[in-house]
Structure 1
Amino acid sequence: MPLTQTSAAQTTKGIWLMVITMFIFAMQDGLSRHLADEYNVYMVLMIRYWFFAGFVIIWSMRASGGLRKVIKSAQPKLQFFRGALLALEVMVMVIGFVKLGLVESHAMFAVYPLLITALSGPILGETIGWKRWMSVGVGFIGVLIILKPDGGVFAAAAVYPLLAAAMFALYGLLNRYVARKDPASVTFFYTGISGAIIMTVLGIWTLEPMSLEDSALMLVLCFTAMIGHYLLIRAYEIAEASAIQPFSYFQLAFASILGVVAFGDVVRTNVAVGTVVVVGAGVFALVRAQIVASRKRR
């Protein structure tokens, strides 16, 4: 039937947009790691968020109702906290890139969907079945394999990607919570504005001149951030989130390749095995969530 064909075509397009977006985000991670190696991480992220906030404002002005509509939130304090939390999560993750590398940071960060599953009960009041709880347990076994307490990446630096994963999981749950009262346009606006405010407070004191080459890389980072967020928005506009969300794991693959090629990161056996376990458990949890949601809609 034509409707099914159209839906399938849109889903395919959404998947490709998600994969391309994850590639862009992985390249951004590499640029962020390089710039944070050379300059204060607060300054790097402050400039990045200035551009992002500008993009959000322009996007909102062109949307139906303009700025006046997106500023009006039913829960402004929670929206501001959610946006600031994302900015701080990015900051913690970039520090992890510098101290631990792209490969191992992303391997441990991949646990965030399982944290969302574990926390959706107490925060959103959702019922989590035993199969999804089992996936959470398996995922954390994968994290232990990655950490390898008897002498792998288990070090103080490991706390950065794990903390970032917990922060991003809370951010994801808050996205779902605020969506009950605010439209996506309001949430998107507060994401950019509150992030820019919090990073300016932290980073304005660290401003310093950048070399011409690094200034060019900073511009690339900022513009690709805008492109990446635009493509992500388009992906979720044309395809169901449940169909394209599992493909977000491509960022892990792309970032790992970049880490090995550009930064000389090493993919340890325990990291590879643990990552497969974590990602497998995460995909299982996503699929189970889709099945449960589809049953409720019947």
Structure 2
Amino acid sequence: MKIAPAAAAAAPAPQSNNIPLGIALMLAVTVVFALQDGISRHLAGEYNVYMVVMIRYWFFAAFVMAVAARKAGGLRAAARTSQPGIQIFRGFLLAAEICVAVLGFTILGLVESHAVFACYPLMVAALSGPILGEKVGWRRWTAIAIGFIGVIIILEPGYGVFDPMAIIPLVSAVMFAVYGLLTRYAGRRDRTATSFFWTGVTGAIGMTAVGAWFWEPMAPGDQLWMALLCLTGASGHWLLIRCYEVAEASAVQPFAYFQLVFASALGMAVFGETLRTNVAIGAVVIVAAGLFTLWRERQKDLEPDA
């Protein structure tokens, strides 16, 4: 679905706090990643998901290494870590999550996939206790419970025969939340550049080991779409890194939910998807709960019992 939001969790400490510019950059990020998801949906509908994600990762790894090479110490400094096991697992987990997310796009479409995936900040809050040992107060637990009511509204488990495929974006959200928490954990000892480097390189290695077995010739027109997919990935990363350099994460993070809006609009306009009433209601519930959780995250330093 999106590599960069997780990378953003470990983005460099902001050197300024230009909130208007940060918001503008975050909105640009959501547009770019919505386009990326739309292109992924098209290509994965024509070719094997593993191959599409593998090629996307090749370009991402090249971008990561180019960024690392320009910094002090070069590639060797970026790769230096005291916790290679965690870094490798993070990279493989994110690659697997992207495969699951893209599969969800092809089966359920962009609208429903993004509506369910929007619950991942709630999962981050719920899992921060067992994974990071952070305290989650009753207010945030209430928001988490309300958010999952929104997921249930979207999935409609009580109406007719429940489609197990509807669980795919929920699995993707769980995987992405765990990845984000492991990124935060790794960031206690590793630099941002290190986590970013391992994310791209290990993901590319893992996807090549899998995707090479599913290689298919690609039509010339789709080669252009593949090139655009790679370009949106790199440009989205750059925009997000820049966003977190110029503004505080807590100030711009709520605007990341606009990806749900843009991706849904793309799904309806290009792929003929429809926005069912239950999906719209559930998405509103999830986003509201997520925004409250982000607000409580911002307040917890002032209120230790948050």
Alignment TM-score, normalising by the size of structure 2 = 0.92
CA deviation profile, 1:64-107 (whole Å, cap 9, x unmatched): 21111011111111001001111110100000000001000000
- Where does residue 196 of structure 2 map in the other structure? 188
Is residue 284 from structure 1 mapped to residue 287 from structure 2 by the alignment? no
> Structure 1: which amino acid aligns with 2:64?
V
CA RMSD after TM alignment:
1.4
> Any stretches of 5+ residues in structure 1 without a counterpart?
1-5
Kept in 2, the 8 Å contact 1:143–1:274? The answer is yes
CA distance in 2, matches of 1:256, 1:28: 13
Runs of 4+ in 1 over 4 A off after TM superposition: none
CA distance in 2, matches of 1:217, 1:152: 38
Kept in 1, the 8 Å contact 2:16–2:245? The answer is no
- Where does residue 93 of structure 1 map in the other structure? 101
- Where does residue 159 of structure 2 map in the other structure? 151
1:1-298 aligned at under 5 Å gives the runs: 10-151=18-159, 154-295=162-303
- Higher helix content, 1 or 2: 1
Q: SS of 1:52's equivalent?
A: helix
Kept in 1, the 8 Å contact 2:59–2:230? The answer is yes
What's the CA shift for 1:7?
A: 5.5
CA distance in 1, matches of 2:278, 2:216: 40
What's the CA shift for 1:150?
A: 3.0
Alignment TM-score, normalising by the size of structure 1 = 0.95
CA distance in 1, matches of 2:95, 2:248: 26
How many pairs were matched up? 290
Kept in 2, the 8 Å contact 1:89–1:167? The answer is yes
What's the CA shift for 1:175?
A: 1.0
Q: SS of 2:72's equivalent?
A: coil
Kept in 1, the 8 Å contact 2:105–2:113? The answer is yes
What's the CA shift for 1:127?
A: 0.7
CA distance in 2, matches of 1:147, 1:76: 38
Q: SS of 1:293's equivalent?
A: coil
What's the CA shift for 1:294?
A: 4.3
- Where does residue 3 of structure 1 map in the other structure? none
What's the CA shift for 1:247?
A: 1.0
**Which is worse superposed, 230-239 or 177-186?**
230-239
For the structure 1 residues 294 and 186, does the alpha-carbon distance in structure 2 shift closer, same or farther, using more than 3 Å as the test? farther
What's the CA shift for 1:134?
A: 0.2
> Any stretches of 5+ residues in structure 2 without a counterpart?
1-14
CA distance in 2, matches of 1:239, 1:100: 35
CA distance in 1, matches of 2:205, 2:300: 39
CA distance in 1, matches of 2:84, 2:56: 23
Kept in 2, the 8 Å contact 1:147–1:153? The answer is no
CA distance in 2, matches of 1:122, 1:211: 47
